[in-house]
Structure formats: structure tokens, C-alpha cells
Structure 1
Amino acid sequence: MGTSVVTPGLPLFVLCAVMAAAAAAVYLVTGLGSPRIVPSASIRGALQLAAVSLILAAALARLWSSLLVLAVMFVAAVFTSARRADAGRSAAWLTMSLATGIGAVVPLMLVSGVVPLEGVAVVPIGGIILGNAMTATSLAARRGLDAIEQRWGEVEAGLSLGLSDRDARMEVVRPAATDALIPGLDQTRTVGLVTLPGAFVGVLLATGSAAQAGAVQILVLVGVLLAQTCAVAVTIELVARARVHRPHFRLRPKWNSG
């Protein structure tokens, strides 16, 4: 029986080049943006994956080096969330959100024995959990901060009614920031019906077992839901308490009831 796994080579290179060129042509014809966006992103992604492949080939052989790779990924996720939140230095607090998200899931998987304490298992699953927690954290922080700026009058109204700063901010932050959980929920609800996520496809191509692929995918999906829920909950609290804030919005006057 032949393998169905995609292998590197000239056909793969040509196919990717054609698809990138086609996307660039669509950008150009429809005015979506610079036609260089997709080709440059594709080249960058290919180079990054080539470098990561070389690193992982050596790192996954040992547990300590695998954990080091995961730690580097965590640092990169923190910087990415901080940049997307547009919250200046205060975005460093989002480290707590990501740490809570991944800390609630990965240790549980390892302690249960479902995921073996091996680099080849910890890094891929940990990376998926971390990446999704990063996306939810970035989105929750950005939307929460946007809500405070756009609906500041409602915050002041809450303060005038006797709410604390935290509670008044939470009234506008929570509805906006919880939208960050919708993509993860939708993906879980529609898995197998609308989409076949990467973990499923990867395991299926590697093993040929649909049952094993399904087991890995449901583990990842539920883990992502827990990680995102925890990360967003912490992010909302940080924004409501003004630990994470926009630099130009830090000194807004408090309501003076006296």
C-alpha cells in the first residue's frame, strides 16, 4: 500500500508557487492589497518551517530540549499577543493569560497519561494549545480595550451608579471580549461536518487510521476550548482592572461621586 503523505520535492515546490502566484493575481485584480503579500508570506512560512524542521529533528530526541522548544514558542506567543493587543508595555500582563491557558491543559494531559511525556507528543500538542490560546488572548484583549474606548460613556454611567472601576469596565469588556471564544466553539461544533482540522489530517496521513486521528483531534479540540476559556477569563479580568490598557488611555478621569 503506497503512502499518502505529502513529500518534499519539485512537484510540491511548483504547486505551492502556482497557488501563491494565483492568490497574488487575485490580490492585484480585485485590489485587495499588494500582490506581494501572499508570495512574501509563503516564502517566509517556507523558510520558517525549514528552520523549525531542522531544529525539531534534533530537539524532539530529548525531553529537556523539547520543553525548551515549547518555552521558546511560549515567549514568541507572548510577544505576538502583546503586539496585537496594541496595549504598549502593559501587554506584558498577558503572559498570565497564556500561562493560565496552557497550564490548565498540558499538565492535565500528561498526568492523565493520555499524552506520553515525550517530546514528539508534548511539542505538537502543546504548540496547538498554545497557538489557539494566543489567538483568543490577542482577540479578547484587543476587543476589550476597543470596547472601553468606544463605550467609555457607559463605564462612567456605571461609576455614577456606584459600581467599582473594575465592575464598570467589566460591563463593557465582557460582552466584547467573549467573542474571542466563538471561533474555537464553532470549530468544535462543526468538526467533521464542515472542516477537517490539521491534527486530524496530520495523524490520518501519518498513520492511515481514522479512529486514531479522531481521538487525537477531539483531545486537541476540547483542550483548546479549556485553554481559550481560561486565557480569555484572565484577559478580561486584566483589562477590567486596567492592568492591560492602551498607553494613551491610561489616565482617564475616575467618576467623582463627591
Structure 2
Amino acid sequence: MDLEWLVEFLKGMLKPVAAIVVVLLAALLSYFQKLGLEGEMVYSILRAFVQLSVIGFVLQFIFNQQNSGWILLAYLFMVSVASYTAGQRAKHVPRGKYVAGASILAGTAVTMLLLVLLKVFPFTPRYIIPVAGMMVGNAMTVTGVTMKRLRDDIKIQMGLVETALALGATPRQATLQQVKRALVISLSPVLDNAKTVGLISLPGAMTGLIMGGASPLEAIQLQIVVMNMLIGASTVSSIMSTYLCWPAFFTKAYQLETKVFTSD
């Protein structure tokens, strides 16, 4: 029985393999345009192919276990990878990976808890792991952009911030405009996507359901939930990251930690 399942899986992979042709087309265009991206394109798609194949087997195993412990393990693994990636984007922020990890964990955990308590999703691996993956991925992107943008803006406007501190402002008051700007820039893509969803493109969750045989009405119900949770998790994570960044940006005497902003 297991061997039959493996044979069916390999048959199903014929279409994904055939779809690599479009990537090869992109690589050829890169070559003729002398962009130098063809190697990275091929590497990226092969890596994605291997990663998704492996995760398919892992999820198949977890779904068959019906054990909530596997949900927590998979969730923490996703948060760990996302923390490292977001920290790399904001590499000049001290302890950036830990700040990103705490922020992503807080935003996604709170959102997921509310969805489970409200019985929007049952607490089973088949529902929670894919949903958590979408939230963690978006929170990762937003958190990384927020941290990097906040640090860069303070660096550009160090004079204004130091003047405000000299006049008695707290770190929060002195960097209020920089924080607002960082949050607006990082959250704008998520909000713009929510405004145009269904008008410009059909998102992955909705497309997957429709292609899987669900009715469009059922698909939009899930997609509305997905958009709501992405906005909630991303907003909590990005705001949390600004609060956690402050201790590294200022000394105990409420002065700018200049070494944070002089390194490039």
C-alpha cells in the first residue's frame, strides 16, 4: 500500500517537473540580456523543488499522527527559520534575530489563539500548520522591513532625534515619527493586497480550493479569514519589533547608541 502511494506521488510530480520549462525560459532570457541571474534562477527552483518535496513527506507523516505536539514542533521550526531570515534583513540591529523571533512569535501566537478560541479553525495539524505558515511568512517579511527601516531612518535623522532627547523627550517620543514611518512602509503591502484581493489576482488559498474542486463561494470564505489573520499577525509583530528594538538603540541614560548607527 505504501509503495502504491509512492508511485502515485511520483506520477503526480510529472507536471511540476514539466513546469520547470518556464523557469528555463526565464534563465535563457537572463542569459541573452546578460543579467547574470540564470544560475540563481536554476538554483532557486531546484532548492524549492527539493524543499517542497521533503516537506510534503513530513506533513504527510504529521497529519497521520494526529498529535498536537507535532503542531507545536512544526510551528516553532517555522518561527526559528523566519527569525533568522528577518534578522538577516535587519543585520545592523543588535540581537536582530532574537527581536524578530519574539515579535513573530507574539504576533502569530496571539492571532492563532484567537482563531482557535473563536472556532474559526480546529486545532488539528491539517488546519493549523498551513495557516501558521502563512502567518509566519508574512510576519517575517513585515518584521524584517520594520526593523531595518526604523534603524535606517534614525540613522538619517540622528540630529533631530538627539535634539529631542536633549530637550527631555523619552526615546519613544524622540523616535515617534521614525516608528510611524517604518510601520506604514512595512504594513502597506499587506493592506494594499487586502484592498485589491480578487480584483487583480486570486490569492493562493482561494486558488488552491477552487482548483481542488471547492465552490468559489467556499473559497472566498476561507480567503477572507486568511486576509484578516495576516493583517492581525503582521500588525502585532511589526509593532512589537519596534518596542523590542528601542533598548538596543539607546543607552540607559536615554542617549543614542551611536555604534549601532555608524556600522554599515
Provide TM-score, normalisation by structure 1: 0.86
Work out whether residues 94 and 248 of structure 2, in 8 Å CA contact, stay in contact via their aligned partners in 1.
no
Unmatched 5+ residue regions in structure 1?
1-6, 253-258
The residue number in structure 1 matching 2:8 is none
Matches within 5 A, 1:1-258: 8-16=12-20, 18-61=21-64, 62=66, 63-87=68-92, 90-91=95-96, 92-242=98-248, 249-250=259-260
| Alpha-carbon separation, structure 1, partners of 2:174 and 2:89 | 24
Q: Name the aligned partner's letter for residue 231 of structure 1.
A: S
Work out whether residues 71 and 129 of structure 2, in 8 Å CA contact, stay in contact via their aligned partners in 1.
yes
Decide which moves more: 37-46 or 163-172: 163-172
Q: Name the aligned partner's letter for residue 44 of structure 1.
A: R
By how many angstroms is 1:251 displaced? 8.0
Unmatched 5+ residue regions in structure 2?
1-10, 252-256
| Alpha-carbon separation, structure 1, partners of 2:16 and 2:212 | 18
State the Cα RMSD in Å.
2.3
Provide TM-score, normalisation by structure 2: 0.85
By how many angstroms is 1:211 displaced? 1.4
Percent same amino acid among aligned pairs?
27
The residue number in structure 2 matching 1:4 is none
Work out whether residues 59 and 69 of structure 1, in 8 Å CA contact, stay in contact via their aligned partners in 2.
no
Q: Name the aligned partner's letter for residue 84 of structure 2.
A: F
For residues 159-195 of structure 1, what are the alpha-carbon distances to aligned partners after superposition, in whole Å with 9 as ceiling and x for unaligned?
A: 2332123321333232134210011101110010011
Runs of 4+ in 1 over 4 A off after TM superposition: none
Change in Cα spacing, 1:176 to 1:29, as seen in structure 2 (3 Å) is farther
| Alpha-carbon separation, structure 1, partners of 2:194 and 2:177 | 28
Decide which moves more: 174-183 or 120-129: 174-183
